[in-house]
């Protein structure tokens, strides 16, 4: 079966929710969202996140194979006037069983490709947990550069993790596919 990277729409809300709850549960240090907080949200919240309406400020792409979603990554576009040139890659997750197949690269590539179609956007930002070399290496390989580290960025139980802030200059990627 072929894996396709496509924009997820509200009919994928249940699969998207299940995948992200898995991500929050298995990797609490990688996400700012907490599994219990997100689990409590109604399915309508997840459907809204996947809405393609004219007011949508987020888009989520999924690696889809048949009825299964094998990985996801989102892009949030800043709407405030002074920050409209910026966007954020969020919620990147590929389960262990699906890693090593290029899905993460394909998802990031699709997010960047979509970002380049938005004429106001100049850059995409993201954060990655300090010490997550695999994820940071993936992002660096896709054109992201580190611009700082935020100490104590996320509380995970009784400890804190730092986040590495990265950015990708869409103007430099303009000639890439």
The DSSP string of 137-151 is HHHHHTT-EEEEEEE
Domain ranges of the chain: 4-169
pLDDT for the residue 177: 45
Contact (CB, 8 A) for 93 and 62: no
pTM for the whole thing? 0.93
Q: What is the Cα–Cα distance from 116 to 173, expressed in whole angstroms?
A: 8
Report, in this order, helix, strand and coil percent for the chain, each rounded to 5. 35, 35, 35
Torsion angle (degrees, nearest 10) of CA 52, 122, 73, 173: 120
Domain made up of 4-169: CATH architecture = 3-Layer(aba) Sandwich (3.40)
Mean pLDDT in order along the chain per 10 residues (177 residues): 93 97 96 95 96 86 94 95 95 95 97 94 97 96 97 96 97 62
pLDDT of residue 173: 63
């Amino acid at each position: 079966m072929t894996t396709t990277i496509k924009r997820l729409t509200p009919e994928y809300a249940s699969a998207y929710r299940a995948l992200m709850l898995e991500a929050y549960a298995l990797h609490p240090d990688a996400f700012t969202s907490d599994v219990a907080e997100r689990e409590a949200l109604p399915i309508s919240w997840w459907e809204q996140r996947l809405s393609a309406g004219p007011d949508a400020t987020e888009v989520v792409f999924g690696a889809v194979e048949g009825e299964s979603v094998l990985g996801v990554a989102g892009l949030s576009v800043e709407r405030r006037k002074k920050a409209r040139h910026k966007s954020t890659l969020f919620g990147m997750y590929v389960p262990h069983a699906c890693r090593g197949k290029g899905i993460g690269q394909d998802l990031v590539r699709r997010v960047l490709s979509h970002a380049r179609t938005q004429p106001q956007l100049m850059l995409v930002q993201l954060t990655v947990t300090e010490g997550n070399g695999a994820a940071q290496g993936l992002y660096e390989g896709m054109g992201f550069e580190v611009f700082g580290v935020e100490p104590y960025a996320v509380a995970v139980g009784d400890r804190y993790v730092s986040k590495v802030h990265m950015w990708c200059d869409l103007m430099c990627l303009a000639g890439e596919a």
